[in-house]
């Protein structure tokens, strides 16, 4: 009985030693693994830092390129530059004015344009006492010509200008007035 | 052991952050590289060209006088004044030219205005202009103030 207990104790002691040994070996392997992993990660981190530094230097070089800087400015202000171009189409404004004059039989004079605002003097004359000519449908009375022009320009969606409120009309047979047109 | 664990955790976080930073920088780099490529050979080249000019007296002199002298029967230059200007609110130089001219008629004046505004070599703009519209069918004397945008 006592021998059996001794054997059992010796066996338990042997198992404990083996467990401890396994544990020790396990801890050693884990430690070596962690050291190796840590080392690998540090190498990787260092590699990424180098990549980032190289890329940052390339980006900075591109950002400092004169043409790219200019392009960036232009892109940021594209709307303003497009407006600059639109405001410069003097030939189109003159054409538009001539069309308006022909369409409504109103004489226009004195083209004065500044930053999208166009001022002209206008004169409409009575062509007779009838309200309409029978065959053309054009108005004969100066006041009718002007009223038709005002309504027509304001209603025309293709019109490049917006007609401002007209504050005064001078005369009756011949009516003179000023027109202010604002580029839409 | 404990220190290694913390070190690994910290390294993992650093690697993640670095990867994000690299991805962001790479995107910036690709965008800028595309712009550069477009400016050198692509679609943006022609739009961009007029901004790269220098404000050169000889260039502008040649540009206007050559055109007008070829049409001397319908137009003539009285004077051309140049001002290099300063940098405007959006970071470009805004120079100014003033062209005092005589035209045989309105048609020749409009021809000159088109030559100024619709050219592809310079950014010329006319934002102020007056002339005796409808008051003459003969010669017209006008002053054409021109804005120039450049680098």
Q: Quickly state the pLDDT bin for A134 (edges 50, 70, 90).
A: very low
Compute the nearest-CA separation of A45 from chain B (Å): 6
Do B16 and B60 fall into the same domain?
no
Give the mean pLDDT of chain A: 87
Residue B32 in contact with partner chain A when CB distance is under 8 A: yes
* A125: enclosing H helix or E strand: strand A117-125
Do B75 and B136 fall into the same domain?
yes
- Give the residue-averaged pLDDT of B2-6: 77
ipTM of the complex: 0.81
**Among the partner residues B8, B29, B44, nearest to A62 by beta-carbon distance:** B29
**pTM attached to this predicted model:** 0.76
Q: Which domain holds residue A153?
A: 88-183
CA dihedral for A152, A157, A158, A163, sign (positive or negative): positive
Query: What are the tens digits of pLDDT across the range A15-43?
Result: 888 888 888 898 889 888 888 888 888 89
Residue A107 in contact with partner chain B when CB distance is under 8 A: yes
Looking at the DSSP bridge assignments, the partners of residue B101 are B77, B142
CATH number, domain with residue A111: 3.30.70
Give the mean pLDDT of chain B: 90
Domains in chain B, number: 2
Lowest mean pLDDT segment, chosen from A87-91, A109-113, B26-30, B38-42: B38-42
Do B136 and B69 fall into the same domain?
yes
Do A149 and A179 fall into the same domain?
yes
Closest-approach residue (CA) in chain A for B40 = A67
Query: What are the tens digits of pLDDT across the range B48-61?
Result: 888 888 899 999 99
Closest-approach residue (CA) in chain B for A38 = B8
- Give the residue-averaged pLDDT of A125-132: 68
For residue B127, what are the contacts with CB-CB under 8 A and spacing of at least 6? A84, A87, A88, A114, A115, B145, B147
**Among the partner residues A80, A94, A112, nearest to B90 by beta-carbon distance:** A80
Residue B151 confidence (pLDDT) above 70? yes
For residue A125, what are the contacts with CB-CB under 8 A and spacing of at least 6? A107, A142, A173, A174, A175
In the Cβ-directed half-sphere of A104, how many Cα atoms lie within 13 Å? Answer: 23
């Amino acid at each position: 009985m006592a021998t059996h207990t001794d054997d059992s104790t010796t066996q338990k002691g042997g198992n404990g030693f083996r467990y401890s040994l396994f544990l020790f070996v396990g801890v050693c392997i884990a430690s070596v693994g962690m050291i190796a992993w840590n080392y690998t990660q540090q190498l990787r981190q260092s590699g990424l830092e180098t990549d980032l530094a190289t890329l940052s230097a390339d980006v900075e070089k591109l950002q400092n390129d004169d043409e790219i800087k200019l392009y960036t400015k232009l892109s940021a202000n594209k709307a303003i530059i497009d407006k600059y171009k639109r405001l410069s189409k003097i030939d189109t404004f003159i054409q538009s004015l001539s069309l308006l004059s022909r369409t409504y039989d109103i004489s226009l004079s004195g083209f004065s344009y500044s930053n999208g605002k166009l001022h002209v003097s206008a004169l409409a004359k009575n062509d007779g006492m009838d309200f309409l000519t029978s065959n053309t449908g054009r108005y004969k009375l100066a006041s009718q010509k002007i009223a038709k022009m005002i309504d027509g320009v304001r209603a025309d969606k293709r019109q490049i200008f917006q007609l401002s409120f007209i504050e005064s009309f001078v005369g009756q047979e011949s009516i003179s007035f000023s027109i202010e047109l604002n580029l839409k | 052991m404990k220190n290694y664990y913390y070190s690994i955790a910290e390294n993992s976080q650093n690697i993640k952050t670095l990867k994000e930073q690299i991805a962001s920088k790479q995107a910036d780099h690709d965008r800028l590289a595309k712009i550069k490529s477009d400016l050198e050979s692509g679609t943006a080249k022609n739009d961009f060209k007029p901004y790269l000019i220098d404000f050169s007296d000889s260039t502008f002199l040649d540009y206007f006088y050559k055109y007008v002298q070829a049409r001397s029967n319908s137009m003539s230059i009285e004077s051309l004044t140049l001002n290099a200007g300063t940098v405007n609110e959006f970071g470009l130089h805004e120079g100014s030219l003033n062209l005092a001219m005589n035209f045989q008629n309105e048609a020749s004046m409009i021809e000159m205005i088109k030559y100024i505004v619709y050219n592809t070599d310079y950014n010329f703009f006319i934002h102020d202009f007056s002339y005796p519209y409808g008051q003459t069918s003969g010669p017209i004397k006008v002053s054409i103030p021109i804005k120039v945008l450049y680098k």
